[in-house]
Amino acid sequence: GAVVSQHPSRVICKSGTSVKIECRSLDFQATTMFWYRQFPKQSLMLMATSNEGSKATYEQGVEKDKFLINHASLTLSTLTVTSAHPEDSSFYICSARRTGMPQHFGDGTRLSIL
Amino acid sequence: GQQLNQSPQSMFIQEGEDVSMNCTSSSIFNTWLWYKQEPGEGPVLLIALYKAGELTSNGRLTAQFGITRKDSFLNISASIPSDVGIYFCAGYDTNKLIFGTGTLLAVQP
């Protein structure tokens, strides 16, 4: 069964709206959580890495004020896309990892900004 | 940063055929992972490789960690329609998991 739960699975909203995506590790405490973005027919691109209780580390080119990440506990991380615009439409995928173990991924969130 | 290149980019095969796909890196990785992604879903871990030269199987899947630590292959034997999807190799760059370019597999019944 799924070990990482991501919610919602799909969001359609108007331009200018802020959208929050949740990522939960279901049966383990994740030392690190990761957020990826995937455009159609492309690979997963890492956006940011977050450790519980500390600020996220963003990859080059990813705006930290645009993509707010909160990692409040060892089982929950959230990604908020602030003031979303059509170019933010994408498939966002989170993953969680415990030290020494491979990463497990959520089922992704399809974000569509009209 | 490190790049992982996969080949072939896509494969269209008949059910029952064996499949082989490859992943190469510009630099050394200490861990290789193979994931499968189906449309609208997140990647699912298939096989994890931790030692150079390691050969690991998971049912009809077999993967090997290259001796140079710069490459890995994944074989699928006796393919079935549900093998359809995109297969990604991935490796850790310090604490970050970097994905390959992907191999799209289509299996015709």
- Give B28-82 pLDDT, tens digit per residue: 988 899 999 999 999 999 999 999 999 999 999 999 999 999 999 999 999 999 9
Q: Which residue of A has its CA nearest to B94?
A: A49
For β-strands A109-113 and B85-93, DSSP reports them as unpaired
Q: Which residues of B touch A6 (CB under 8 A)?
A: 42
For the ranges A44-48, A53-57, A99-103, which has the lowest average pLDDT? A99-103
A17 vs A85: CA distance, rounded Å: 8
What pLDDT score does B23 carry?
97
What pLDDT score does B93 carry?
80
Residues A85-89: contacts with CB under 8 Å, at least 24 apart:
A85/A15, A85/A16, A85/A113, A86/A15, A86/A113, A86/A114, A87/A113, A88/A113, A89/A113
Angle CA A92–A94–A98, to nearest 5: 170
DSSP state of A52: T
Residue B1's pLDDT band (cuts 50, 70, 90): low
What pLDDT score does A100 carry?
78
Residue A61 has pLDDT above 80, yes or no: yes
> Averaged over B11-32, what is the pLDDT?
94
> Averaged over A24-40, what is the pLDDT?
92
What pLDDT score does A81 carry?
97
Contact A103 B45 (CB under 8 A): yes
What pLDDT score does B57 carry?
96
Specify the residue for token string 């994740």: A30
Q: Which residue of B has its CA nearest to A39?
A: B40
Q: Which of A91, A102, A110 sits opposite B33 (nearest CB)?
A: A102
Q: Which of B31, B45, B95 sits opposite A104 (nearest CB)?
A: B45
Q: Which residue of B has its CA nearest to A98?
A: B95
Mutation site for A-interface testing, chosen from B41, B47, B93 by largest number of A Cβ within 10 Å? B41
> Averaged over A38-43, what is the pLDDT?
92
What percent of chain A has a predicted confidence (pLDDT) above 90? 75
Q: Residue B13 corresponds to which tokens in the numbers above?
A: 């095969």
Q: Which residues of B touch A106 (CB under 8 A)?
A: 42
One-letter amino acid at B78 equals: A
Q: What is the mean pLDDT of chain A?
A: 92
Cβ neighbours, 10 Å, residue A75:
19
Q: Which of B33, B42, B96 sits opposite A46 (nearest CB)?
A: B96
What pLDDT score does B2 carry?
67
What pLDDT score does A1 carry?
56
Mutation site for A-interface testing, chosen from B98, B99, B103 by largest number of A Cβ within 10 Å? B99
What pLDDT score does A2 carry?
62
> Averaged over A77-96, what is the pLDDT?
96
